[in-house]
């Protein structure tokens, strides 16, 4: 019998005895099925299931080479980060992340709650589905995981130990390249532009010196500002939803960075959904909900942030009258800037979002992309002006009006 004391990549048949040996989740004599359901390039994801009771869990194993090629060596550090961050987030924001049953640093596996009854938020948004609790849940998640891991709240020596634990060179490099450099320079010549917008992007994005200069400043802030343990990849593909539940997954990009990085990613990805709905003539009720969700993602964040500050602040200097509001304003400024960076990089860079790429009509897609990019520039160039959800939304809607489809 395999003892699982030396790392190897498991197949589905090997995962069943692994789960029985390592966890108490199933009875030992239960008959289990197992299927590999991962579609990423780095990890293997197994769904293990007792077909009789329906009880199930997920085993996620990190490969030490890319799935497409043995020659591309990878650190398995990311599964340690993902597992430990999920556990920490689970303590800080109970119920808003999948439960971790086991992290195994030999087999580089994370055994966790199965969320097959949930849908990926991006997919659901593109189908026009409404999730009334979304903004409430995501703002709770962000306030709790961000503020409570910052120097405002936790003892500073403990915070520094967390900074050290979650130094994340490989995955930060991906963001540094794909978010903070290539969408403004195309210097690696791998940006993937929608042909009908190529010229517009070359002129309005790559050709804008001021924009690139601001992006340079923001890149340094991303690389140096060890403010809070950010999720680091909080787009709508990293959120599982069902009507009464929101679960944030995949924190493998987590590191100590600017709080606004997470908030801005949430806002920008809601804006992709809005732009899609707007140009394709989505349902009014759905669009109205999306607009409320964008507004609430900012305003509930601010409200809960200030309330949590009041309750949890320990840092003596942070208790100064008005410092909470000053600090929040810096987070909102970063949020606006990152909203702009995410909106930009998903159109003018390498990695795309389905919200836009699956718009079938060419003119509609051209318009949706320009709405996002025009808004993006304002978020980046005027980031200090944003304090309320309505202000964020206004920029998007004004941008839509300026590309007048309606």
- Residue from 92, 340, 108 nearest 231 by CA: 92
Closest separation between CB of residue 155 and a copy of itself, Å? Answer: 9
CA 211 vs CA 95, 206, 379: distances in Å: 39, 8, 10
- Identify which of residues 133 and 187 has a Cβ nearer to a copy of itself in the complex: 187
What is the binding site for a copy of itself (CB under 8 A)? 151, 156-157, 159-161, 163-164, 167-170, 172-173, 176, 180-181, 184-185, 187, 209, 212-213, 215-217, 219-220, 223-227, 315-318, 320-323, 326-327
Closest separation between CB of residue 48 and a copy of itself, Å? Answer: 35
Closest separation between CB of residue 151 and a copy of itself, Å? Answer: 5
CA 46 vs CA 10, 125, 222, 396: distances in Å: 10, 26, 34, 40
**Phi, psi (rounded to 5 degrees) for 321:** -50, 120
**Strand arrangement of the beta sheet that strand 239-242 belongs to:** 119-120, 239-242, 245-248
Closest separation between CB of residue 340 and a copy of itself, Å? Answer: 15
- Identify which of residues 130 and 318 has a Cβ nearer to a copy of itself in the complex: 318
- Identify which of residues 229 and 368 has a Cβ nearer to a copy of itself in the complex: 229
Residue 273 near residue 355, CB atoms below 8 Å? yes
- Identify which of residues 104 and 324 has a Cβ nearer to a copy of itself in the complex: 324
- Indicate the SS3 state at residue 44: strand
- Residue from 302, 305, 286, 275 nearest 391 by CA: 302
- Residue from 87, 84, 92 nearest 150 by CA: 92
**Phi, psi (rounded to 5 degrees) for 218:** -65, -35
- Identify which of residues 157 and 406 has a Cβ nearer to a copy of itself in the complex: 157
Q: Checking phi first, is residue 186 left (phi over 0); if not, alpha (psi -120 to 50) or beta?
A: left
Closest separation between CB of residue 337 and a copy of itself, Å? Answer: 14
Closest separation between CB of residue 217 and a copy of itself, Å? Answer: 7
Closest separation between CB of residue 343 and a copy of itself, Å? Answer: 18
Closest separation between CB of residue 35 and a copy of itself, Å? Answer: 36
Closest separation between CB of residue 384 and a copy of itself, Å? Answer: 14
- Identify which of residues 324 and 369 has a Cβ nearer to a copy of itself in the complex: 324
∠ Cα 339 154 92 (to 5°): 65
Question: Residue for token digits 């409404």?
Answer: 130
Residue 253 near residue 283, CB atoms below 8 Å? no
Q: Token pair for residue 384? A: 């200090």
∠ Cα 334 337 342 (to 5°): 115
- Identify which of residues 245 and 330 has a Cβ nearer to a copy of itself in the complex: 330
- Identify which of residues 183 and 389 has a Cβ nearer to a copy of itself in the complex: 183
- Identify which of residues 180 and 274 has a Cβ nearer to a copy of itself in the complex: 180
- Identify which of residues 168 and 339 has a Cβ nearer to a copy of itself in the complex: 168
Q: Checking phi first, is residue 189 left (phi over 0); if not, alpha (psi -120 to 50) or beta?
A: left
Closest separation between CB of residue 42 and a copy of itself, Å? Answer: 17
**Radius of gyration, alpha carbons of the chain:** 22
**Phi, psi (rounded to 5 degrees) for 358:** -95, 10
């Amino acid at each position: 019998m395999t003892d699982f004391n030396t790392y190897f990549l498991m197949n589905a048949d090997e995962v069943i005895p692994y789960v029985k040996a390592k966890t108490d989740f199933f009875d030992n004599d239960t008959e289990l099925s197992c299927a590999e359901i991962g579609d990423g390039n780095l990890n293997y994801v197994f769904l293990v299931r007792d077909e009789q009771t329906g009880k199930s869990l997920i085993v996620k194993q990190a490969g030490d080479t890319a799935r497409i090629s043995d020659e591309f060596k990878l650190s398995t550090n990311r599964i340690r980060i993902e597992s430990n961050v999920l556990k920490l987030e689970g303590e800080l924001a109970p119920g808003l992340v999948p439960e971790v049953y086991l992290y195994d640093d030999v087999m580089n596996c994370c055994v966790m709650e199965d969320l097959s009854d949930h849908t990926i938020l991006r997919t659901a948004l593109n189908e026009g589905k409404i999730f009334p609790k979304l903004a409430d849940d995501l703002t709770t998640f962000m306030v709790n995981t961000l503020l409570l891991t910052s120097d405002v709240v936790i003892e500073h020596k403990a915070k520094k130990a967390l900074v050290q634990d979650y130094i994340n060179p490989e995955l930060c490099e991906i963001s540094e390249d794909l978010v903070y450099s290539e969408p403004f320079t195309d210097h690696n010549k791998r940006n993937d532009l929608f042909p009908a917008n190529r010229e517009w992007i070359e002129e309005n994005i790559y050709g804008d010196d001021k924009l690139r200069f601001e992006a340079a400043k923001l890149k340094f802030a991303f690389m140096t500002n060890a403010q809070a343990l950010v999720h680091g990849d909080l787009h709508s593909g990293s959120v599982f939803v069902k009507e009464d539940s929101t679960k944030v997954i995949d924190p493998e990009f987590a590191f100590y960075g600017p709080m606004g990085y997470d908030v801005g990613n949430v806002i920008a990805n809601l804006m992709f959904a809005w732009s899609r709905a707007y140009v394709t003539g989505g349902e009014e009720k759905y669009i109205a909900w999306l607009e409320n969700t964008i507004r609430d993602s900012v305003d509930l964040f601010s409200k809960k942030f200030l309330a949590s500050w009041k309750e949890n602040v320990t840092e003596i200097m942070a208790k100064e009258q008005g410092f909470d509001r000053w600090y929040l304003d810096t987070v909102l400024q970063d949020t606006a800037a990152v909203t702009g960076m995410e909106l930009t990089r998903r159109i003018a860079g390498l990695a795309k979002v389905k919200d836009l790429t699956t718009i079938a009509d060419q003119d509609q897609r051209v318009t949706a992309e320009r709405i996002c990019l025009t808004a993006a520039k304002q978020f980046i160039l005027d980031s200090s002006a944003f304090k309320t959800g309505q202000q964020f939304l206004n920029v998007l809607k004004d941008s839509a009006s300026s590309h007048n489809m309606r």
